[in-house]
Amino acid sequence: MKKPFLRALNGETVSPTPLWLMRQAGRYLPEYMKIRKTARNFLDFCYTPDLAVEVTLQPLRRYGFDAAILFSDILVIPDALGQDVSFLPGEGPQLDPIRDLSGLEKLNLQDLHEHLSPVYEVLTRLSGSLPKETALIGFCGAPWTVATYMVEGKGSKDYAATRSWAYRAPKEFSRLIDLLIEATSAYLIEQVAHGAEALQIFDSWAGILPEMEFHRWVIDPTIEIVRRVKAACPGVPIIGFPRGAGVLYRDFVAKTGVDAVSLDSSVPLKWARDQLQPHCTVQGNMDNFLLVAGGEAMDREARRIVDILGSGPFVFNLGHGIVPQTPPEHVTRLVDVVRGAETVGSGG
């Protein structure tokens, strides 16, 4: 296993620190905006292999990251299950909300792989066209986070309908989560079959759940997905991202079997080094608005992160995705700083 990113996920301390950035493809790049205009809508864009392959490669050409991440979205799963999903320009995702068992009955796994076949084709094509040191990451949304969109019908501030359903009727809600475990595991296994070399499970809204519910709706479904994927694809590294989990990151790492954990920006570095890094590779966690600000503040924090986490198994990333107002030249600078930073105690 030679690619630096995969070596880091395998538990090695790698210097210089491997890096990629969440949402490295997207609206902050003028070349993305140009090609985005050619697609009718965002889902069509994701399902058109020529376009999705091209936008996956755009940030690699500019910055030479250590990994490419499949260009797609977490909401292709509800779309493939038969829920009505669309992306309105400037407004984010819109879904026909599911609030009860009768809504669930409209969903099924029958056409899953057929529906997602353009995504698999994107992976096949990418795996044949990446530089040999660059790894290919496949991904999915975790059941809890995907369920919030399926139940709310859109992005939310309080997830009122999802939390109410999960707390009021957990047995009923678990039917939705179980369906998502099934679909997501099959989807990830197929991604590996088509060339994904590592997988990331995005649980962007994990942090809104109290302790017991975090165990039930974040940790337990992740355990099951990791178990199924590892049984079918032994050796494929999996990164978990339970964003906002706080001290529960420790339970997540201890229980789920992930190879690496992606840290949001609120996780203190020395705590992560002492509490998490002995058990798995860590990834993160610069504030995405430091990348907007740039300058000395960004350089200092990037060096501090590499300094504290770089002497163990580590992948540099942000705490959350790149935002559209990010100046592309700040990303150039960040890559230079991370690649040039000394790692303490790594012996090279």
Residue 69 sits in the site that holds ligand 1CP (CB under 6 A): yes
**Catalytic residue check, 304:** no
Q: Which helix (H) or strand (E) holds 251?
A: helix 249-256
Report the DSSP beta bridge partners of residue 135.
Answer: 67
Residue 294, Ramachandran bin (φ over 0: left; ψ between -120 and 50: alpha; else beta): left
d(CA 265, CA 268): 8
Say which DSSP state 322 is in.
Answer: P
Q: Should residue 93 be labelled a site residue for ligand 1CP when binding is judged by CB under 6 A?
A: yes
Question: Nearer to ligand 1CP by C-beta: 155 or 257?
Answer: 155
300 is a catalytic site residue: no
Annotated catalytic residue: which of 23, 250, 273, 339? 23
Question: Any binding-site annotation on 25?
Answer: yes
Residue 73 found at the interface with ligand 1CP (CB under 6 A):
yes
Taking residues 15 to 34 in sequence order and writing x for each that binds ligand 1CP by CB under 6 A, - otherwise, the string is -------xxxxxx-------
Among 4-12, 66-74, 278-286, 292-300, which window interacts with ligand 1CP (CB under 6 A)?
Answer: 66-74
CA distances from 262 to 21, 120, 279, 347 (A): 11, 24, 13, 25
| Distance, CA of 129 to CA of 247 (rounded, Å) | 40
The reply on whether position 202 binds ligand 1CP by CB under 6 A is yes
Q: Which of 120, 149, 187, 249 is catalytic?
A: 149
Q: Which long-range contacts (CB under 8 A, 24 or more apart) does 22-26 make?
A: 22/69, 22/262, 22/317, 22/318, 22/320, 22/321, 22/322, 23/321, 23/322, 23/323, 24/59, 24/63, 24/65, 24/69, 24/322, 25/55, 25/56, 25/58, 25/59, 25/69, 25/71, 26/321, 26/322, 26/324
In the stretch 124-163, what mask flags binding to ligand 1CP with x, by CB under 6 A? ---------------x-x-------------x--------
Give the integer Cα–Cα distance in Å for 237 and 197. 7
How many residues of this chain interact with ligand 1CP, rule: CB under 6 A? 22
Q: Is 330 annotated as a binding residue?
A: no
Reading the block at residue 314, the tokens are 């580590």
23 is catalytic: yes
Q: In angstroms, what is the minimal distance from the CB of 330 to ligand 1CP?
A: 16
Name the one range near ligand 1CP by CB under 6 A: 72-80, 171-179, 245-253, 290-298: 72-80
Q: Is 204 in the site for ligand 1CP (CB under 6 A)?
A: yes
CB-nearer residue toward ligand 1CP: 30 or 347: 30
- For the question of residue 259 being annotated catalytic, the response is no
Backbone angles phi, psi at 239, to 5 degrees: -105, 130
Does the annotation mark 27 as catalytic? yes
175 is in an annotated binding site: no
Host H or E run for residue 139: strand 135-141
**Which residues are known binding-site members for substrate?**
23-27, 73, 149, 204, 320
Question: Which residues make up the interface to ligand 1CP (CB under 6 A)?
Answer: 22-27, 36, 42, 69, 71, 73-75, 87, 92-93, 139, 141, 155, 202, 204, 321
Q: Residues with catalytic annotation?
A: 23, 27, 36, 73, 149
